[in-house]
Homo-oligomer: A and B are copies of this chain.
Amino acid sequence: MQTTLERPLSDKLFLDDFHVGQRFRSGAHAIDESQIKAFAGAFDPQPFHLDEDAAKGTLFAGLAASGWHTAAITMRLLVDGGAPIAGGIVGAGGEIAWPKPTRPGDILQVESEVLEVTPSRSRPDRGMVTMRCETFNQRGETLQVLTAKLVVPRRPT
């Protein structure tokens, strides 16, 4: 698998390596107007994500990224080292909130904290890690809070 080839296995964490309160910090991603408009054109073509002038008269009061774009960038930051999980980042679901819009020029980073580690009762080879992933910008403003339930393999014995 690519993920395990890129880094030695020992760098990635199994269920057994997680504990409540553990924290991770991702790299950074700078978002600009063209990225915002390209994503919105494909997946969320609404005026406040596509057109600076049209956005002024809306709830967003200016061009803002689709919340799903913020979610997608967050995922990329987690995959690129923000959550070094053996077997990759596999989410079963979670809760998501966007307290503030993502704006052109924002530099996004994700800080994650382990809230819960639960071995599976029916599947001895895996478990669930609940992780709170906060996406913030260069001014420390929280743009997204994702509380994700991740499927994590146990260390092979």
Q: CB within 8 Å of B: which residues of A?
A: 1-3, 39, 42-48, 50-51, 54, 57-60, 66-68, 71-73, 75-76, 79, 87-98, 145, 151
Copies of this protein chain in the complex: 2
Contact A91 B75 (CB under 8 A): no
Contact residue among B47, B71, B88, B93 (Cβ-Cβ distance under 8 Å from A2): B47
Query: Given the complex of chains A and B, what is the CA–CA distance between A43 and B74 in angstroms?
Result: 8
Contact A88 B43 (CB under 8 A): no
14 contacts across the A-B interface (CB closer than 8 A): A3-B47, A43-B75, A44-B75, A45-B79, A46-B88, A47-B88, A48-B88, A58-B87, A59-B87, A66-B75, A67-B91, A68-B68, A71-B71, A93-B97
